[in-house]
Amino acid sequence: QRARLEERKNRKLLIEEEEMKARAYEKKRRAQEISLDRSLKYQMRIFDEEPQVCEEIFREEEEEEEDKLPELTPDMQMLIDRALRPGNPNEVLSEDFRLQITRRDIVTLSGLNWLNDEVINFYMNLLMRSGEKGERAKLYAFNTFLYSKDEVFSSRRCIVMWLFAVLIMCHPNSDVAFIGACVADMVKKVITYYDSMGAQNNQCLYAVLQYLQDESKAKNNTTFKRNEWQLVNAEENPQQMNGGDCGMFMCMYAEYITRGKEITFTQEHMPYFRRRMVYEIISKKLLQ
C-alpha cells in the first residue's frame, strides 16, 4: 500500500513538473513570436500606412475560354518512357541554358517525387525563352534571398521572375520541403501569395513589397508608394492532395500566369503535367 502511495505521489510530481515545463516553453515561444513580429515590422518598416493583407484572390472580370491541354502523342509518350526508364543516373538527357538534366534529375518527375532544383530551374528557363519569343509574358528568373537569417524563413532560397507586368517569387520552406509562389502585378499593384497547401504567408507578401520598394529606390523612382499596393493570400487556387506535388503546382502556377490564363488545373492533372514536363525538358520546347 505504501509503495502504491509513493508511486502515485511521484507520478503526480512528474506531471506537475511536465506541466511547469510546458507553461515555461509556451511563455518562451510567445515571447519569441512577439520579438520576431516586432523585428519583422521594424526591418520592413511596416507602419500605419502599410497595406492590409486581404484574403480574397484577385479575379479577372472577363470570362475566359476553357484552357484545353495539349495531347501527348504516341511518339511523345515513347520519348517520355525512354527518359524515365532505368539507366545510367549520370547520363545527360537534355542540355541548355548552361544547365544539364541527367536521368537522375528527370526521374524526379515520376510518381510523387519532389522536383529537384535542376528540373525547376530548367523549366523556368523554358518559360523565359518562351517570353522572349512573345509567346507569353516576358520574364526573367534569378535566385535571391528575401528573408534575413534571423527571420522566420531563415536562409530560404527564392526564385524571382520578372514579367512584363508581374513578378513571381517562389521559396522552398526546407522544414517541410514545400514551395510556394508569390505574384506581384506591377500594373494593378496587387501582390498575391499562392500556396498549394492552403497556408497564408504575410511575411512573404511584405518581403516582396519591400523588395519592390528597394528596387524602385535603387532606380531613383520616387513614385513608389507602399500604401497603394494590395496584399492578398489566395484562397481558391488549386490545392495539392499529397506531400509530393508542391514543386509541380508551383511550376504550373507560373506556366498559367505567364500565359495570362486563369489557374483552373487540379490535383488530377498532375500525372499528365509530370509526363508533359518530361517531354518539354527533353525536347526543350513548351507545348503551350
pLDDT in tens, 18-39: 777 777 766 665 665 555 455 4
More confident residue, 45 or 278: 278
Q: Average pLDDT, whole number, for the chain?
A: 77
Query: Candidates 3.40.190.10, 3.40.395.10, 3.30.429.10, 3.40.50.2000; correct CATH number of 51-283?
Result: 3.40.395.10
Cross-strand bridge partners of residue 190:
185, 230
C-alpha 155/C-alpha 174 separation (Å) is 9
Using the structure block, give the residue that is written with the C-alpha cell 518562351: 130
Reply yes or no on whether the pLDDT at 194 is more than 60. Answer: yes
What is the pTM (predicted TM-score) of this model?
0.70
Q: Which of 242, 286, 256, 282 is nearest to 111 (CA)?
A: 242
- Kindly state the cell numbers that stand for 98: 548552361
Contact 200, 66 (CB under 8 A): no
User: What is the pLDDT, as a whole number, of residue 212?
Assistant: 82
Q: Which of 243, 239, 250, 39 is nearest to 157 (CA)?
A: 250
pLDDT category of residue 11 using cuts at 50, 70 and 90: confident
User: Per-residue pLDDT tens for 36-72?
Assistant: 455 445 444 444 456 666 655 444 445 556 678 999 9
Angle, in degrees to the nearest 10, between helices 270-283 and 74-84: 90
At 115, is the secondary structure helix, strand, or coil? coil
More confident residue, 34 or 192: 192
For the chain, the domains span 1-43, 51-283
Which residues lie closer than 8 Å to 87 by C-beta, 6 or more apart?
103
pLDDT category of residue 131 using cuts at 50, 70 and 90: confident
Alpha helices in the chain (DSSP H): 2-43, 74-84, 103-106, 117-132, 202-218, 246-258, 270-283
User: What is the pLDDT, as a whole number, of residue 140?
Assistant: 64
Reply yes or no on whether the pLDDT at 88 is more than 90. Answer: yes
More confident residue, 180 or 95: 95
User: What is the pLDDT, as a whole number, of residue 215?
Assistant: 79
* H or E element that contains 119: helix 117-132
User: DSSP per residue over 128-145, as a string?
Assistant: HHHHHTTSS--EEEEEE-
User: Looking at 43-47, 73-77, 118-122, 151-155, which range is the least confident one?
Assistant: 151-155
C-alpha 25/C-alpha 192 separation (Å) is 34
